[in-house]
Structure 1
Amino acid sequence: MLENNMPAAPTLRLNNVALAVADLEAMIHWYRTALGLQVEQRGHFDPVDADFAMLTGNGFRLELVSRAGGEHRPADRSAPPQHLHVLGWKAIVLETDDLAATTVALKAQGVDIVWSEQALTPTLASTMIRDPEGNLVNIFGKLA
């Protein structure tokens, strides 16, 4: 429990979102091809013996991390809305100015579509996709 009389953490900002993946090369290729991300940096984290790739998009960074060997335990991949019954981070959520065009482009690439231009509110819709390892990516846009 946080103490009310303790000072808040200094001003923070998001650096990146990290995603552990089994096949780093395949996932780099998918995120570059499907979402247009660019590789900013690649390297190795010695303390955890893991390779990484930092990908950049329009105003965000996604870090893909992979550790060779060992047992990879997949995350729960329940379909929405059941995915909300398992606690933890659910999806990378992006935004586009043209959801319809983005959805058409994703379909043309054969991306795994969970739902397409689903109305969420009277003014907001989303297209939800899965990457090759089953991670959800939800793309928001204005309802057409």
Structure 2
Amino acid sequence: MSTSASHPLAGRLLLNNLALAVADLPRVIDWYQRVLGFVVEERGHFEPVAADFAMLVGAGVRLELVASRRAILREVDRTPPPRHLQVLGWKALVLQCDDLAALGEHLRAEGVELLWEAQPLNESRSSTLLRDPEGNLINIFGPRR
């Protein structure tokens, strides 16, 4: 049995970014900047897949938004919680915030689709769950008040 410290890739692999395929790249870039405070770090086009991309940074992560020019698009699975856990795959971008009440005010002012707000998870943590403009889940943890 191998431990992570003895694995040949231990310390060699690092997270570069999370990639999210989107239909409307300018609209989604604007939303992540305006609503969550992300900043565009880099933009480009990757010809082998005929896709434009934008690399955004914020909340301690790099988020790559990718839009294919040739794609036949399929909508994101919008199965609502708790049944969303019955669909395999990545569930949500999970962030954290020190003030979910202030975050909720900001999100409501921006017209963001909230699935729940400041929902208690345990004695010390709460969760606000929302969707980006293309239906992807974003879960934001914060302290329970």
TM-score (structure 1 length as normaliser): 0.92
Amino acid at match of 2:134: E
- The match for 1:10 is 10
What is the distance in 2 between the residues matched to 1:103 and 1:95?
13
Shift of 1:137: 0.5
Deviations 1:5-52 (A, max 9, x none): 694423222111110000101100111111111100000112211100
| Percent of residue pairs bearing the same amino acid type | 55
Q: Which amino acid aligns with 2:61?
A: F
**Structure 2 residue matching 1:33: 3-state secondary structure:** helix
Q: Please state whether the residue corresponding to 1:29 is helix, strand or coil.
A: helix
Alignment of 1:28-107 (within 5 A): 28-107=29-108
Asked if residue 119 in structure 1 is aligned to residue 120 in structure 2, the reply is: yes
TM-score (norm 2): 0.91
1:121 deviates by 1.2
Q: Deviations over 1:57-88 (max 9, x none)?
A: 03211110000133111231101110000110
Decide whether the 8 Å contact of 2:43 with 2:53 is kept in 1. yes
In structure 2, stretches of 5+ residues that fail to align are none
Cα deviation digits, residues 102-133 of structure 1 (max 9, x gap):
11111111111110101111111011110111
Aligned counterparts of 2:27 and 2:57: Cα–Cα separation in 1: 17
| RMSD of Structure 2 on Structure 1 (CA) | 1.4
In 1, distance between residues paired with 2:9 and 2:90? 22
**What amino acid is the match of 1:106?**
L
> In 2, distance between residues paired with 1:42 and 1:51?
8
Q: Kindly report structure 1 stretches of 4+ aligned residues shifted beyond 3 Å.
A: 4-8
